[in-house]
Structure 1
């Protein structure tokens, strides 16, 4: 299959996922509690949105040098899209039941599975393209998977500990490309 069709379906699904998340935002009542709940909802939405944006940007970058995708790559991509399509559900659940550790477990499982499938897809793209990216990207993906897995038992200790992981991982991915840009400019 040509890469363009592959990228088109990915773009379409990611756009729909973001739209569904945006439609689930509820306007608050104007009381102090309502505004505070709305702020928590927006912060959770920002984390989920940032995660999807990072997936989409990185997906584009890893397939930059791939010319044709094979059957295995298609299935890995659909597994990534499936797990990513659960992000609105996980976002809504943690928004409604923030202090319930089960909502943090769902959030960690969904984000962790999306990260795992992204990692597998990234590894597959390396085989297809012959690209030689640094090991830093591979390490970051593995660390993110481990952190999301760690968020599950930590949610039993304190939901703020798992929440810190949910903020830390997208922040690290956001800051990581700057490190690579600076390294590449220096060379």
Structure 2
């Protein structure tokens, strides 16, 4: 099974998730700057969630574009990932209503932990699908970056009950790690393009 339909479906679902988050942002009725202050917590949460969804989307795109095929298990892993990413609007709305308080901030951490698990599960299934010839396996290596991110997201859940802002700082730290698209996949695609150019037959003189 080719990867193009999985990528197209994922693109559509994540676009809807981001749109729903925007709808949940309420515009102040007054014209002065003080009127926006009550919305600041949800704006911060929205920005963080938008960046996180964007990070998952960009790295998902690079990873799936590297894979040559998918199977049924990979499709279910992808659905598991999307389930948790589409819960982002729910926890953002909760933070908007309750403020930056332990329970909703911890819930945000649970969602990101499970999404990270889903991403790693999909990565694992893509590797298994291609067995020893897996391009994804060759690119990701030890998956150290994924495990560090998973651990920091998980640490954010109990940290939220000590201080929600500590948890948010951990979430932001993970986002900073991934803001630049995964260079492992970028380098692999550049090498593939370079090899393809090197294998082109020399141009013949038709004169």
Fold conserved between structures, TM > 0.5: yes
Q: Could you tell me whether the CA contact under 8 Å between 1:29 and 1:35 is conserved in 2? A: no
Aligned mates of 1:70, 1:176 — CA distance in 2: 25
Aligned mates of 1:98, 1:44 — CA distance in 2: 10
1:126-174 Cα distance to aligned partner (Å, 9 max, x none) = 33341211446x1121111111211121111111111111211111111
Provide structure 1 residue ranges, at least 5 long, that are not aligned to the other structure. Answer: none
Provide structure 2 residue ranges, at least 5 long, that are not aligned to the other structure. Answer: 191-207
1:158 corresponds in structure 2 to 163
Higher alpha-carbon deviation: 113-122 or 1-10: 1-10
Aligned mates of 1:96, 1:34 — CA distance in 2: 16
Structure 1 vs Structure 2 CA RMSD: 2.4
Matched, 1:143 2:151: no
Matched, 1:172 2:173: no
Aligned mates of 1:32, 1:77 — CA distance in 2: 42
2:203 corresponds in structure 1 to none
Aligned mates of 1:101, 1:77 — CA distance in 2: 29
* Rg comparison, structure with higher value: 2
Q: By how many angstroms is 1:179 displaced?
A: 8.8
Distance 1:59 1:178, change over 3 A: closer
1:133 corresponds in structure 2 to 139
Q: Could you tell me whether the CA contact under 8 Å between 1:66 and 1:128 is conserved in 2? A: no
1:165-187 Cα distance to aligned partner (Å, 9 max, x none) = 121111111147469869x99xx
Size of the aligned set, in residue pairs, is 184
Higher alpha-carbon deviation: 35-44 or 109-118: 35-44
- 1:65-144 mapped onto 2 (5 Å cutoff): 65-129=66-130, 130-131=134-135, 132-135=138-141, 138-144=143-149
Q: Could you tell me whether the CA contact under 8 Å between 2:42 and 2:99 is conserved in 1? A: no
Q: Could you tell me whether the CA contact under 8 Å between 2:105 and 2:167 is conserved in 1? A: yes
Q: Could you tell me whether the CA contact under 8 Å between 1:112 and 1:145 is conserved in 2? A: yes
Aligned mates of 1:180, 1:69 — CA distance in 2: 18
1:49 corresponds in structure 2 to 50
TM-score of the pair, normalised by structure 2: 0.79
